[in-house]
Amino acid sequence: MKFRVERDALADAVAWTAKSLPPRPSVPVLAGVMLRASEGTLHLSGFDYEVSSEVAVPVHADADGVALVSGRLLAEITKALPAKPVEIAAIDAHLELVCGTARFTLPTMPVEDYPTLPALPDRAGTVDAAAFAAAVGQVAIAAGRDETLPMMTGVRVELNGTSLALLATDRYRLAVSELDWHPDNPEVSANALVPARTLADTAKSLGALGGDLVLALATGETSEGMIGFAAGERRTTSRLLDGANYPPVRNLFPASHTAQATVTRPALLEVVKRVSLVAERTTPVRLSFSADGLVVEAGGAEEARASEAMEASFDGAEPMPVAFNPQYLLDGLSAISSPMVVFSFVEARKPAVLAPANEDGEIIPGYRYLVQPLQWS
């Protein structure tokens, strides 16, 4: 194998392929990136039996071939290379990279020990890549991080006709985002539970490419529980989590509310950040809504306290004092990009719902963030 390739194209391709490689693989070859040169195209791939990544890059090839090298090391090297064409050649049990006057020699691993990449499942349809990435970013923040509860660490993808919904919860908060997509089958009805970290990384990388993102989902009884995404020359697959007993989390959203408050979102975000400086990790931030506006306050160790008042529109019979985990509140406010945010309440001790709103205070449909309040002492 011998070829020449542009540095930036190579660095981007290696970074994409190596990003999902395990830091401590069960077998050494799973830390590798496979390079396969054929007919003027370099195919790079990585696979750890859970997530696969593959990308194609045009090259000037002198000889076809295949080589397997450490993915993370190759990513670090290609990122650091000077802005010049890169010449790569497989020589015996080594891979040589030459870029300008820089030269690297990397040991290769046995190609025959590398697992076969899974095929992309059947195509289900397409969605705007940037919109999908934004929606995943809004929802993934609410996914759990406790690996002893794997179901809570996933994002549920629901496909119903032309509607695509994303849901995630860690039992203390719940995020739901809905957007339009273009199914190949207008009557499609399917769902999948995707590891949140994998989905977030994939959506962010592919969303940056723009255009349409192909969603592929194996839904048959004999499927291996796999989901796939493809955009441009990049494709990735991921094993699904077992979501057979995923709870009916949509039922957590109240059917009605007794009070609502509308606040300027960027201003509230900054106020919560300032006030929560005195709050310890388990100390809540209190928001007191009334006809006079909003007061945000927090208390910490050794009598440290902070409070700040700001304007807010409140519609309720009685004042509404409610306390939240500050990080959960900041996550929800950060996930919303609109100028205003609307808080909907049933009562102070029941979950509150945050929704984006326009400058007139009208709720923008598509995203909701539910958070469980804490007790204020």
Q: Please check whether residues 281 and 359 belong to one and the same domain.
A: yes
Domain boundary among 113, 139, 155: 113
Give per-residue pLDDT as tens, 234-276. 999 999 999 889 999 999 999 999 999 999 999 999 999 999 9
Q: Within a 13 Å sphere around the CA of 209, how many CA atoms are in the beta-carbon half?
A: 21
Q: Please check whether residues 348 and 364 belong to one and the same domain.
A: yes
Looking at 59-134, which runs of residues are DSSP E strands? 60-63, 65-70, 86-91, 94-99, 102-107, 123-128
In a domain, 129, yes or no: yes
Rounded to an integer, the average pLDDT of 152-163 is 96
* Residues counted in the chain: 377
Give per-residue pLDDT as tens, 54-80. 999 999 999 999 999 999 999 999 999
In a domain, 118, yes or no: no
In a domain, 377, yes or no: no
Q: Report the b/e string of 195-234 with b at 16+ CB within 10 A.
A: bbbbbbbbbebbbeeeebbbbbbbbeeeeebbbbbbbeeb
Q: How many structural domains does the chain have?
A: 3
Q: Please check whether residues 284 and 223 belong to one and the same domain.
A: no
Contacts made by residues 306-313, CB under 8 angstroms, sequence distance 24+ = 306/274, 306/275, 306/277, 306/278, 307/275, 308/271, 308/274, 308/275, 310/263, 310/264, 310/267, 310/268, 310/271, 311/263, 311/264, 312/261, 312/262, 312/263, 313/261, 313/262, 313/263, 313/361
Q: Please check whether residues 267 and 344 belong to one and the same domain.
A: yes
Residue 223 has pLDDT above 80, yes or no: no
In a domain, 98, yes or no: yes
Q: Please check whether residues 142 and 207 belong to one and the same domain.
A: yes
In a domain, 301, yes or no: yes
In a domain, 72, yes or no: yes
Residue 158 has pLDDT above 90, yes or no: yes
* Paired residues of 55 in beta bridges: 44, 234
Give every CB contact of residue 345 below 8 A, 6+ residues apart in sequence: 257, 258, 259, 260, 261, 316, 320, 322, 352
Domain boundary among 217, 250, 283: 250
Give the CATH number, domain containing residue 307.
Answer: 3.10.150.10
pLDDT (0 to 100) of residue 24: 87
Q: Please check whether residues 170 and 208 belong to one and the same domain.
A: yes
In a domain, 159, yes or no: yes
Q: Please check whether residues 155 and 229 belong to one and the same domain.
A: yes
More confident residue, 377 or 307: 307
In a domain, 376, yes or no: no
Task: Show the domain range for 77.
Answer: 2-113
Q: Please check whether residues 259 and 362 belong to one and the same domain.
A: yes
Domain boundary among 250, 283, 317: 250
The whole-model pTM stands at: 0.92
Give per-residue pLDDT as tens, 27-58. 999 999 999 999 999 999 999 999 999 999 99
Q: Please check whether residues 129 and 244 belong to one and the same domain.
A: yes
CB atoms closer than 10 angstroms to residue 370: 22
